[in-house]
A and B are shown apart, each in its own frame.
Chain A
Amino acid sequence: MSKANLPDTNGHFGPYGGRFCAETLMEPLDELLEAYERLKHDADFQAEYDKDLAHYVGRPSPLYFAERWTEILGGAKVYLKREDLNHTGAHKINNTIGQALLAKYLGKTRIIAETGAGQHGVASATVAARLGLECVVYMGAEDVKRQALNVYRMKLLGAEVVSVTSGSKTLKDALNEAMRDWVTNVDNTFYIIGTVAGPHPYPMLVRDFQTVIGREAKRQILEAEGRLPDALVACVGGGSNAIGLFHPFIDDEAVALYGVEGGGDGIDTPRHAAPLCVGRPGVLHGNRTYLVEDENGQIIETHSVSAGLDYPGVGPEHAWLKDSGRANYVAATDTEALQAFHDLTRIEGIMPALESSHALAYAAKLAPQMDKDKIIIVNLSGRGDKDIHTVAGLEGITV
């Protein structure tokens, strides 16, 4: 049986996913599901989405052969899927364009979003500006501090950025606060969730909007090499760029899939953001999935140098791909990611986001173990401009 035809009608990926949320949101989620199922097959909607991807986002994004880096690594050929070249600098816009169109078709006048690194917030503020919608972005107070540039970008775009001071003051708390806003303003508000998590249908629809990454990559690698790759590598916070790349390859069993979590100080320490590597199943933010939690079911504060990976949960489809053995989940530490950040910048002249640097760090381990005729595609999910302050700060440099 195909592993690619999930979720079932109730939003389950095996035992994961589903819809665990306040009763007030159940009916709005049903409305969203109905609208999405209808529009998914609507020619006008699809044409508008495709047109926006081509002319606003700038798709298709290139599949770039990193020749020099490949040579230095001395093993498999490494290709980079250049999502960093999208408008707003990351894969996030593939999804926000799609959800903003849904909001428009549903007649909603206000959009809300949560953001960690700020990339999804920027992408949401961008599409809101373009459609003339009111936009409120929830961001943990800690992230507001470490991603000041993106906060200012969102404000320039006309969005209101709400600094969330509850809990651990990071992405999970921003998500809590966005849910509270949505349950209060559900009549006129569309909640653009930024990753493949949350209650059904979000993990499905965000994935569907992101699979453009994998569909393009498949076509591009067939053009470039005449065959499918041997491995795909992508970083996993909530997991939207990874599922976007993986999903069109799920039935191609010969293609190995590697999701790379934020290893922080190391997954054998308490400071990491790696639920798939060392967490266990539970219920948070509307779905059942792997979580970083204590023995009493309280969610533990996570740590990653990358704000976009600093999240205690993960999309339910990844939980399912892990249990089914179809995908492998590993972690890269802060130190390894920073090394990859520098390497790609110096060797290829491409500055990757710290999130994507985790995928690059694992690819740098994997490639030398593979023969030179093997092929790896790494999802370069975002560009690193937003992280320059973080990197400089860690190295004691004031910019």
Chain B
Amino acid sequence: MSRIAQRFSDLKTNGRKALIPFVTAGDPNPGVTVPLLHAMVEAGADLLELGVPFSDPMAEGPVIQKACERALLHNTSLRDVLAMVKAFRQTDSETPVVLMGYMNPVEAMGYQSFAKAAVESGVDGLLTVDMPPEEAGDLVAALLEASIDPIFLLAPTTVDERIAKICADASGFVYYVSLKGVTGAANLDIAAVEHKVEQIRRHTDLPIGVGFGIRDAETAQRVAAVADGVVVGSAVVNCVAENADQPEKINEAVCSLLREMRQAMDD
């Protein structure tokens, strides 16, 4: 069983939902990332999403766009991100790590060499927001051969037929984008999310993570009530941004948010 499947299975046994924070690797500098990953686990994170910085992050709102820009000031590359995961794995062999980003850095590295290097570094899943299953045949094959879970997105506009097709290609978990918009948007409609999650469940037994627009403990709690996992991106990255000039305060800012969310979700 993959680390991701194992983690969701354990959570289910304990009646808990996954808290999945996202940070951009190398933001605001490469030295911050590995200690931050460990701190987030300490604060209650169950899975980690690590953003691969990209020059043209089309699906991101301003918060994560700026995080990419800060990371790219230090030329944080996909190879650097893999090295961070490898460093994280030195002392944490259990928490699943999913890379999230855009296709072009993976294209530039080549699917086979990426998959090989990723699994050697201890990466568990890959989610590229601009790679729908229609184009992903070769990538999925390379990932599965290296035992890396390809994670796909489902959106409010995804119709039943596509949900079925996407779930058939996915493994690990599926990620439901809770609103029409970019990351960090504010207009989350919980009833609509619940409705869509039920629709998705009719097509798959995979755990369903929900992300985009989860900004505080209250929304985390309400989304956790209807999904298997809660992905928190912009709210976490915002804590990093606010302390970009004093990186020693980043871990505490992020962790205090995560602890609030953890508590609300477990109540």
Binding site for B on A (CB under 8 A): 10, 18-28, 166-167, 172-173, 176, 179-180, 183-187, 281-286, 288, 291, 293, 295-299
Contact = CB atoms under 8 A, between A and B. Distances in A.
B108 A296 contact: yes
B69 to A, nearest CB: 8
B58 A179 contact: yes
B181 interface: yes
Interface residues of B, number: 45
B105 A296 contact: yes
A121 B59 CA distance: 22
A23 B105 contact: no
Contact of A166 (B65, B78, B109, B158): B65
Given A23-B158, A296-B79, 18 more contacts: A10-B134, A18-B135, A19-B135, A22-B59, A24-B155, A24-B156, A26-B158, A166-B62, A166-B65, A173-B56, A179-B58, A283-B102, A284-B104, A285-B58, A288-B107, A288-B135, A296-B105, A299-B55
Q: Which of A18, A23, A185, A282 has the most CB of B within 10 A?
A: A23
B132 to A, nearest CB: 6
Contact of A24 (B61, B69, B177): B177
Contacts of A25: 157
Contact of B58 (A18, A22, A281): A22
A23 B58 contact: no
B155 A22 contact: yes
Interface string B117-148: 00000000000011110110000000000000
Interface majority SS (helix, strand, loop, mixed), chain A: mixed
Nearest to B181: A184
Contacts of A166: 62, 65, 69
A296 B82 CA distance: 13
B77 interface: yes
Given A176-B56, A184-B185, A298-B72, A20 B103 contact: yes
A298 B62 CA distance: 19
Nearest to B53: A298
A298 B180 contact: no
Contact of A298 (B55, B61, B134): B55
A291 B104 contact: yes
A27 B162 CA distance: 9
A178 to B, nearest CB: 9
B22 interface: no
Nearest to B157: A27
A179 to B, nearest CB: 5
A183 B59 contact: yes
Interface string B165-182: 010000000000100111
Nearest to B130: A20
B154 interface: yes
A20 B108 contact: no
A186 B131 contact: no
A184 B65 CA distance: 16
Nearest to A291: B104
B56 A172 contact: yes
B108 A282 contact: yes
28 contacts: A18-B135, A19-B135, A20-B132, A21-B130, A22-B130, A22-B155, A23-B152, A23-B155, A24-B157, A166-B69, A167-B55, A167-B56, A167-B69, A172-B56, A183-B180, A183-B182, A185-B180, A186-B157, A186-B180, A281-B107, A283-B104, A284-B56, A284-B104, A286-B130, A288-B107, A296-B108, A297-B106, A298-B105
B193 to A, nearest CB: 14
A34 to B, nearest CB: 13
A298 B54 contact: yes
B104 A299 contact: yes
A28 B155 CA distance: 12
B25 interface: no
Contact of A19 (B56, B62, B134): B134
B57 interface: yes
Given A285-B58, A298-B54, A298-B72, A20 B109 contact: no
